Amino acid sequence: MIKLRNRNADPAPAPPFEGHGPGGTERATFAAGCFWGVEAAFRQIHGVLQTAVGYTGGHVADPSYERVCRHRTGHAEAVEVWFDPAQVSYAELLQTFWRIHNPTTRNRQGFDVGSQYRSAIFYHDAGQVKTATASRDAEQQSLRRQIVTQITPASAFYRAEEYHQRYLEKHGHPGCAATIR
């Protein structure tokens, strides 16, 4: 028996957020494949003050890595980025986002396949959606294939298990997978 999910269901509501990140910062949330490499790329940017890997864009509250990998939650592996807009702009973060993955492959980055590896920008305000849309349109001009990146409102962000946080730094790896366009 096959159970069909209601694909029109709203994403899980955001749980209360404890704190607001470092003072004077803004938040950005990106999904671009395996969150280990995505986090490592954003951590290298001057002005990024804090990152966390986690799950967002799904329909199940408090998902685990195992459930996300079994495609039962609808979540993407994502990175929450807290940045100082006086040091780095949201537009500059988007340039990194486009550079570190292939936005023309649906639900796949390199050898990682599944909806949790989709390309998505989760915006937090009207300015971010406007900037993200303009950035996508500009990026499309340099690509032959159609960009499939989702630009969608941010919803609940569930921090991944601690062993996933700063994973590549902890294990001495420079990156996750090669980006091939």
- What are the catalytic residues? 34
Task: Kindly report the three-state secondary structure assignment for every residue of 56-122.
Answer: ECCCCCCCCHHHHHCCCCCCEEEEEEEECCCCCCHHHHHHHHHHCCCCCCCCEECCEECHHHCEEEE
- The whole-angstrom separation of Cα 97 and Cα 119 is 9
- The whole-angstrom separation of Cα 70 and Cα 108 is 15
Contact (CB, 8 A) for 178 and 110 = yes
Report in angstroms the alpha-carbon separations of 126 from 26, 119, 122, 132. 13, 20, 11, 10
3-state secondary structure of 155: coil
